[in-house]
Copies of this chain bind each other. A is one copy, B any other.
Amino acid sequence: MKSAVRQQHVARAKIIKAMAHPSRLFIIEELHDKERCVGELTEMIGVDASTVSKHLTVLKNAGLVMDEKRGNSIFYTLRCPCIMDFIGCVEDVLSTNAEENAAVLKCLNRGTKK
């Protein structure tokens, strides 16, 4: 693979990898509605605050969120709302998979019945 193309895929993979975790997906969706501080997200997700902080660092390094300190808290916002389109695409895949599974199940049932 040519190096320039390779580099392009590495760059894209970095962004995608940053989204590839349930808690981080949750954060992205939550921030789409409104800005949130670490404490709020921590309570919603239900893991240690330091863990949430690290997830937010991952998202920030990928350029997906921004932070802003106000008073005693740090508020995070989504930097690219287009990210939600992204999640829409994933849902399409999931529903395709679900249909397939349903078809397979139906097929199996037909086989065993009788």
Contacts and interface: CB of A to CB of B under 8 A. Distances in A.
Q: Chain A's interface: helix, strand, loop or mixed, by majority?
A: helix
A85 interface: yes
A73 interface: no
Contacts of A82: 89, 92-93
Nearest to A66: B100
Contacts of A16: 16, 19-20, 25, 90
A45 interface: yes
A111 interface: no
Given A79-B93, A80-B93, A86-B89, 13 more contacts: A12-B22, A12-B87, A13-B20, A13-B21, A16-B25, A16-B90, A17-B21, A63-B93, A64-B93, A83-B89, A85-B85, A85-B89, A86-B86
9 contacts: A9-B23, A9-B25, A12-B22, A15-B90, A16-B19, A62-B93, A63-B94, A83-B89, A86-B90
